[in-house]
Structure formats: C-alpha cells, structure tokens
Chain A
C-alpha cells in the first residue's frame, strides 16, 4: 500500500467514525435528557432497549442498514449503499445506544438535590439542563470515549454497507482485513499499528480532559 493510500484510509476512518459519534451525540444527548427528566409510559422499556443496544453486534447493525439501503429496500431510492454516508449511518446506529446509555448513567450519578437547588436559585428549565451536563461531564466524556472506541474498531458493519471499495469506502479496519486476506501481512501490521495509535491518542486526549476535570472539580467528601 502506498503512503497516499494509507493516509486516505486513515482519514476516512476518522471522518466516518468521528461523524458517526458527533451525530450520535447530537441525537443521543437530548434523548438521554428526556429519558432522565420526563416520566412517560414505556420509559422503562425504552431504557431496557437502549441498554440492550449497547451490546449490539456490528454485523447485525450492518445487516439492518443493508436491508434498508438495498436498491429494492425502503431507503433504496437514496442510492446510499456502498458510500461513506452508509458507513456513517451504520456506525451512528452502533454509537447511539452507547451515548444514550452511558450519558443516562452519568446523569443518574448527579445528586437530584443539586438540580432542585439550581431551580430554587432561579435557573430556568434550560439552565437546569446545562447544570445537569456540567455536573455529569466526566461521565459524558466517558460516553464519548466508549462510543468512539466502539465504532472506530468495528469492521462488520462498514464492510457490509461500505463494500470496502478501494479509494472510496476503504477504512483502516477493512483495509487490515483486505491486506491480511491477500497475504500482505506487513501492510496489515502497519495499518493495525496506525489504528492502535489513533485509538490510543484519541483516548489519551479524552482521558486527559476527563482527569484534568476530575482534579479540578472533585475531591474527597464532595457534595
């Protein structure tokens, strides 16, 4: 594999997984707030589904997206099959329950009296939600770390809906599979090291953010 190809593959990995996580946050965080603050029938069922979704096998998600996007499928008219957009869609579905589930768990760590005290000091509803995020930001970061780690390393879904097309939908994980299959073990190992390093650097950055916050905000006997 040429250097250009490696850069292109790495960039696509970052783009697909990063976009999927950002979209999952955009949809998942409001959903987690609703699940945390509102009482409605079926809340328990939805929470159970979200928790199940956190362990969803990527190939199953890949299959679901393929069925939807297939030329004869309900969303076939979009012509998205075997495009990076399809890969983002699949990874979004994998990341979404992780973001909702872990974010909800982080909210539940916040002392409900903090929110009541915020309201009692004059916070509007929106400001109260901001306080909720502020108080649980460590847990929110953990949710992002888990979601990104989950999607950047999966291979099943992107393979199925992206098709591993060279120069178009090939990402680090599918490239590793490809190179191993054709006996280019050296290339496969380089790509694997890049994937590991990438994953490590991003996690290092997020963990650094988290611990910086922890040192600044938290201490023994907090509350």
Chain B
C-alpha cells in the first residue's frame, strides 16, 4: 500500500507545562476526508495547528508523504497545506483581494491567478460577491468566501476548523452539500474539525474521535457508531444514557438487567452482578398505543412529559420509571394522539441497547476494576 499522505507518531504538545495533546499514532490517507470529532476543548484545534506546522510540538514526528518534517521543510510544505481558522477573519480589501492574497503569497503568476479566481468563483457561486467588502456579506456568504480562499490555492492538504459553525440550519446544509460536492471534484485530502456528529457522519470517509487530548478511536462513521468502545464515545455519537442497573442473569451475551424497577434486556459482555450503564439512540425507540406482540424484547409503559421539535422530527420525552427519549415523525405523533400526559408503550430492541461498565467502577487508568 502507498504511504499515507500524513503520518504522526508520538506527538506531544504542551502549553504552560501542561500536556494538552498526546497522539501516539495518526495517519491520513491521500484523498480522504477525515473528521476530527470530539467535544469542545478536546484538543482538536491544537492538533490541526500542529499538523499544519504552525505550532511546534514538544515531542514526536510528523511525516508528509513518507518524509519526516524538519524545521527546514516547514516553509516548503506550508505551500501544500492550507489551514482555515474557525473564525473567518478577512484581510483588508474586497472579496476578490481576499481570494487572491493566498495566490500572491505563493507567487502564482497573474494569468493563472485570474483563471483560478474564475474557476473558484464559479464553483462557490461567488461571482456577484467579488467586488463586495467582507463587512457587507451575510454570515453564510462570509463562510463561503472563507472556504473558497482555501480551495483557490488548490492545496494537497486542507485542514478546516469547524467550517460550518455558527451558521443557521439552511445555510449550513447548503454549504455542507456544496462543500461535499466540491471536495469530491477536487479530491483534496481533508481534515475537518467538528463537534457536530451529523457533520462528521455526512462529510467524512473516516472519523477520529478525540477526548482530552488523545485520539481514542479511528474508523468509518459506521464502524464508530456500531462499535463505539466506550460510553463516552457512544454518548458523543448521539446515544443517550438510558439507565444504570445491575446484571441479574447473563446467558450467551443476553443480559437481564434490573434498574429503576424495570427489567431490561440487552446484549453485552458483562456477567451477573456487574453494574452497567445502558445507552441507546433515540431514533431506535418505537412507540405504540398498546403493547404489541413482536420480537422486541423491551416494552415499557410510559407517560409523555414533553414534545419538542428537533431538526425535522419531534423529540418525545417519556417517563417510564426512568427518562427515555424518542425521535418520531410529526405524523406518528398525530396518529398516536400524543400530548403531554398521554400514555404510550415504548419499545426498544435488545440489540439496539449498548451496555457499558458503570463509570463509577472504572479507575482513572481506564481499566475496569
């Protein structure tokens, strides 16, 4: 297999003597889009600055296209890498000036500048904005220009820090889908920092999950959703913590768990007597007017507490001795006649529940006791 575009080994970054980043291995394949995914403050931006060669690590090696990066290579490599800050800061001048500045930094000749400007303006639909000043643009337009000034440089490596942050839903979806298309056309190797799961799942070929300065898991979005490895990753991937309980019986991986006065069935590696936390995705919860005869093992009689709009669905908050959330369509809510106080049966398949060791029983080194 060809060497990856970028490899990182044993990287350590410290700020004021405190270790804020520690990555033992990371690789980026040519042409892929990798989402660096994690909560705020998990070290994503620092990692991005470090692989952009803008922040010197305290230790570790960075290899671009198989070659270790030394202090002399930085200026040369910086021509291949573009990193966009989270906040779209603009230079003095019009949108056109802002788009061209990076090309001027790189000493691209004038003819080529014009050609690239034409192409990028077309691709990002910016023709009408070229002679405007950044302060005259809307939030969505600014973000669009911000992205365009990275693509106009035709970099080999594109590093984006939360490029869709702070936009309202309509602009975000539009820009994300444009970005997706343009990225496919250009094939640029991309790292995208985000703390929003949908962005990562939609745009990325692979995801790297970051927690507290470490990359804790790398895989395709499907791999990470289906086998999240820990309750923290599971929660990050959009699974709700359901309930804590104690395993009463374990039979070939099928667990019978007692918690909050209910018996819950789930699959897991725990044994009888273990304390566990169960997580699930709200979209996996089924609602029914009466308990149906079905293969679904877990059915709870529940009372509706609240119904809230969420994206294009409705989020139904239920009480069945513990808190339960369900995503359902508007028409289902109408058909079931749901409203605060109404009774409903909530079902969830045993296979849709993930079981985790109770965090209170895990010591600080991450080992189960």
Binding stretch for chain B, among A49-57, A87-95, A127-135: A127-135
At the interface, yes or no: A222 with Cβ under 8 Å from chain B? yes
Docked CA distance A111–B85 (Å): 13
A223 and B90 form a contact (CB under 8 A)? yes
Docked CA distance A134–B136 (Å): 20
Interface string of B130-169 (1 = CB under 8 A from A): 0001111000000000000110010000000000000000
A127 and B89 form a contact (CB under 8 A)? no
Give the residues in chain A near B90, CB-CB below 8 Å: 223
CB within 8 Å of B: which of A169-223? 217-223
Give the residues in chain A near B89, CB-CB below 8 Å: 111, 113-114, 117, 223
Q: Give the size category of A's interface with B.
A: 20 to 34
A135 and B85 form a contact (CB under 8 A)? no
A118 and B135 form a contact (CB under 8 A)? no
Give the residues in chain B near A124, CB-CB below 8 Å: 75, 105
Nearest CB in chain B: distance from A39 CB, A? 14
A134 and B92 form a contact (CB under 8 A)? yes
Give the residues in chain B near A121, CB-CB below 8 Å: 82, 101-102, 105, 149-150, 153
B91 and A219 form a contact (CB under 8 A)? no
CB within 8 Å of B: which of A102-140? 111, 113-114, 116-124, 127, 131, 134-135
Partner of B135, one of A113, A123, A127, A220: A220
Nearest CB in chain A: distance from B190 CB, A? 15
Please indicate which of the listed interface residues B52, B54, B89 has the most CB atoms of chain A within 10 Å of its own CB: B89
Nearest CB in chain B: distance from A169 CB, A? 43
Docked CA distance A46–B134 (Å): 37
Please indicate which of the listed interface residues A117, A118, A134, A218 has the most CB atoms of chain B within 10 Å of its own CB: A117
Partner of B106, one of A122, A220, A223: A122
Docked CA distance A220–B137 (Å): 11
With A116-B54, A120-B54, A122-B102 already in contact, the answer to whether A134 and B91 are too (CB < 8 A) is yes
Give the residues in chain B near A116, CB-CB below 8 Å: 54, 85
With A122-B102, A135-B91 already in contact, the answer to whether A117 and B78 are too (CB < 8 A) is no
Give the residues in chain A near B84, CB-CB below 8 Å: 117, 120
B105 and A127 form a contact (CB under 8 A)? yes
Interface string of B229-248 (1 = CB under 8 A from A): 00000000000000000000
At the interface, yes or no: B83 with Cβ under 8 Å from chain A? yes
Docked CA distance A111–B101 (Å): 17
Chain B: residues with Cβ within 8 Å of the partner, total of 27
Give the residues in chain B near A134, CB-CB below 8 Å: 91-92
Give the residues in chain B near A118, CB-CB below 8 Å: 91, 101, 105
Closest-by-CB residue of A relative to B90 is A223
With A220-B135, A222-B135 already in contact, the answer to whether A122 and B82 are too (CB < 8 A) is yes
Nearest CB in chain A: distance from B48 CB, A? 10
Give the residues in chain B near A113, CB-CB below 8 Å: 85, 87, 89
Closest-by-CB residue of B relative to A121 is B102
With A219-B133, A222-B134 already in contact, the answer to whether A120 and B91 are too (CB < 8 A) is no
Give the residues in chain B near A114, CB-CB below 8 Å: 89, 91
CB within 8 Å of A: which of B78-112? 78-79, 81-85, 87, 89-93, 101-102, 105-106
With A117-B85, A219-B133, A222-B134 already in contact, the answer to whether A123 and B105 are too (CB < 8 A) is yes
Interface string of B281-295 (1 = CB under 8 A from A): 000000000000000
Nearest CB in chain B: distance from A6 CB, A? 42
A120 and B153 form a contact (CB under 8 A)? no
Nearest CB in chain A: distance from B51 CB, A? 12
A120 and B105 form a contact (CB under 8 A)? no
A120 and B83 form a contact (CB under 8 A)? yes
Give the residues in chain B near A111, CB-CB below 8 Å: 89
Docked CA distance A122–B79 (Å): 5
B83 and A135 form a contact (CB under 8 A)? no
Closest-by-CB residue of A relative to B87 is A113
B135 and A119 form a contact (CB under 8 A)? no
Give the residues in chain A near B54, CB-CB below 8 Å: 116, 119-120
Closest-by-CB residue of A relative to B142 is A223
Nearest CB in chain A: distance from B154 CB, A? 11
A219 and B135 form a contact (CB under 8 A)? yes
Closest-by-CB residue of A relative to B77 is A122
Docked CA distance A155–B175 (Å): 63
A217 and B85 form a contact (CB under 8 A)? no
Give the residues in chain A near B87, CB-CB below 8 Å: 113
A219 and B82 form a contact (CB under 8 A)? no
Docked CA distance A122–B133 (Å): 22
Give the residues in chain A near B101, CB-CB below 8 Å: 118, 121
Give the residues in chain B near A135, CB-CB below 8 Å: 91-92
Nearest CB in chain A: distance from B54 CB, A? 6
Docked CA distance A113–B82 (Å): 15
CB within 8 Å of A: which of B236-286? none
Q: List 5 A-B contacts (CB under 8 A).
A: A118-B91, A118-B101, A120-B82, A120-B85, A220-B135
Interface residues of chain A, those whose CB is within 8 Å of chain B, are 111, 113-114, 116-124, 127, 131, 134-135, 217-223
List the 6 shortest-distance A-B pairs measured between CB atoms, nearest first.
A120-B83, A121-B102, A217-B92, A219-B135, A123-B105, A122-B105
New contact pairs (9) apart from A218-B92, A223-B89, CB-CB < 8 Å: A113-B87, A121-B101, A121-B149, A122-B82, A122-B153, A124-B75, A217-B93, A218-B135, A219-B136
